Amino acid sequence: MQSFTGKKQGNECSQIPFFVTKDGIKFQIKSTSFRQITEVSEYWFDDISPEDKVLDIGANVGAFCIRAAKRSQYVVAIEPVTTDLLLQNIQMNNVKVRVIKAALGKGGVLEIDWDGNRVSIQTYSLREIIRSAGGCDFLKCDVEGGEWQIDPEDLSGIKRIEIELHQPPIGGPPQPALLDYISRNFEFTIDRMPSYEPLGQMGILHGWR
């Protein structure tokens, strides 16, 4: 897997225009054709500890992984499309996040379209991603329907999950096996966000063992 470690060096980011969120996270001001997600109020992550191994699959431009890196020493972000801007935002916030340019899947190359930006990218199973990341205690996953490709057993050993769930036309149909596994092994709740009206979004699953 192609990976990078993002951390600011000297003053190299000091001249880049940026804005600051209410909780103090910096994001570049850059015009792009794709959505830049800078807030993650729908996810629960106050319980991340300094020793937790955090995995952010579908990191976009860093809204979750940058905040997680303020809490944990071990954060890995997976992003297939917006990797360059993600790395720049990580550097701007002077946090350590390992970035892997890849996608969640079943293996092989997949063509992904994010707001008209198309890339052909290598995919890996959750098990392979966790192995490359060095483990996972806390999983955040937002992969536009790709969550249904997770082998349920790959969640073994993960203490906390935050997963955005989708239904057609985003991705494939929900897989009962994944939800059955979560039901048996996690306490969980699903928030359906009123602001997420477009067809295809089910809600955010918050789970803990």
pLDDT of residue 12: 56
Tokens of residue 47, six digits: 């319980």
Q: Which residue has the tokens 């990976």?
A: 3
Tens-place pLDDT, residues 107-149: 999 999 889 899 999 999 999 999 999 999 999 999 999 999 9
Query: pLDDT confidence of 13, banded at 50, 70, 90?
Result: low
Question: What pTM was estimated for this model as a whole?
Answer: 0.91
- Note whether 204 and 42 are within 8 A (CB): yes
Q: How far apart are the first and last CA of the chain?
A: 29
Q: Which CATH number fits domain 2-208: 3.20.20.370, 3.100.10.10, 3.40.50.300, 3.40.50.150?
A: 3.40.50.150
Helix (H, G, I), strand (E, B) or coil at 189: strand
